[in-house]
A = this chain, B = another copy of it.
Amino acid sequence: MAAKSWKLIDVEARAYIENLAITPDEVGGPAEGYSVTKQRLRGGLSDGVDLVRVDNGTLAFSVLPTRGMGIWKAFLGETEIGWRSPVRGPVHPSLVPLMEPGGLGWLDGFDELLCRCGLESNGAPDFGENGQLIYPLHGRIANRPAHKVEVSVDGDAGEIAVSGEVDEARLFFNKLRLFSEVRTKVGQPGLTVLDTVTNISAQECELELLYHVNFGNPLLTPGAQVVLPVSKMAPRDPVAVENLPQWDQYGPETPGSAEAVFFFELAADADGRTQALLKNAAGDMGVTLKLDRNQLPYFIVWKNRQAAADGYVTGLEPAINFPNPKSFEKAKGRVAVLAPGESRTFEIAMDIHTGGASVAAAEAEVQTLQEGTEPMVLQQPDPEWSAG
Asked if A229 is an interface residue, CB under 8 A from chain B, the answer is no
User: Roughly how many angstroms separate A253 CA and B340 CA in the complex, as a whole number?
Assistant: 14
Cα A260 to Cα B255 with chains together (Å): 44
Is A236 interfacial (CB-CB < 8 Å)? Answer: no
Cβ–Cβ < 8 Å partners of A99 in chain B: 97, 99-101, 105
A202 to B46, CA, bound (A): 25
Within the complex, the shortest CB–CB distance from A222 to chain B, in Å, comes to 14
User: What is the chain B residue whose CB lies nearest that of A46?
Assistant: B11
Interface string of A85-102 (1 = CB under 8 A from B): 111100011110111111
Q: How far is the CA of A366 from the CA of B170 in the complex (A)?
A: 35
Segment at the interface with B among A74-82, A130-138, A328-336, A374-382: A130-138
Q: Mark A160-173, 1 if CB is under 8 A from B, else 0.
A: 00000001011111
Asked if B255 and A203 make an inter-chain contact with CB atoms under 8 angstroms apart, the answer reads: yes
Which one of B39, B50, B304 contacts A14 once the chains associate, using CB atoms below 8 Å? Answer: B39
> Number of copies of this chain in the oligomer?
3
Check if A172 sits within 8 Å of B107, measured CB to CB: yes
Chain A 254-296 near chain B by CB (<8 Å), digits 1 or 0: 0110010000000000000000000000000000000000000
The smallest beta-carbon distance between A241 and chain B, in angstroms, is: 20
Q: Is B102's CB under 8 angstroms from A132's CB?
A: yes
B133 touches A101 (CB 8 A): yes
Residues of chain B within 8 A of A259, CB atoms compared: 172
Nearest chain-B residue to A40 (Cβ)?
B42
Determine if B41 and A11 form an interchain contact, defined as CB atoms under 8 angstroms apart.
yes
A6 at the interface (CB under 8 A from B): no
CA of A16 to CA of B9, assembled, Å: 23
Would you give the 0/1 interface string for A116-149, flagging 1 where the beta carbon is closer than 8 Å to chain B?
0000000000001111111000000000111111
> Which residues of B sit under 8 angstroms from A85, Cβ to Cβ?
171
Instruction: Tell yes or no: A309 within 8 A of B by CB.
Output: yes
Residue A238 CB within 8 A of the other chain: no
Which of B43, B94, B255 has a CB less than 8 Å from the CB of A94? B94
Q: Complex Cα distance A86/B16, Å?
A: 22
Interchain CB contact (< 8 A) of A310 among B88, B147, B202: B202
Contact A86:B132 (CB < 8 A) given known A93-B95, A170-B108 = no
Is A301 engaged at the interface, CB distance under 8 Å to the other chain? no
Task: Name A15's closest neighbour in chain B (CB-CB).
Answer: B43
Question: Digit string of A22-51 for contact with B (CB within 8 Å is 1, else 0)?
Answer: 000000000000000001011111111010
Q: Which 8 A-B pairs have the closest CB atoms?
A: A202-B307, A130-B131, A44-B147, A99-B100, A16-B42, A94-B94, A9-B43, A11-B44
Beyond the given A104-B170, A203-B310, please list 6 additional residue pairs across the A-B interface where CB-CB is below 8 A: A11-B88, A18-B42, A87-B169, A87-B171, A97-B99, A128-B131
Query: Please, could you name 17 A-B residue pairs with CB atoms under 8 Å apart, sorted by A?
Result: A11-B42, A11-B44, A14-B39, A16-B43, A47-B145, A48-B48, A85-B171, A86-B170, A86-B201, A87-B169, A92-B94, A99-B101, A110-B171, A175-B309, A201-B309, A202-B255, A203-B255
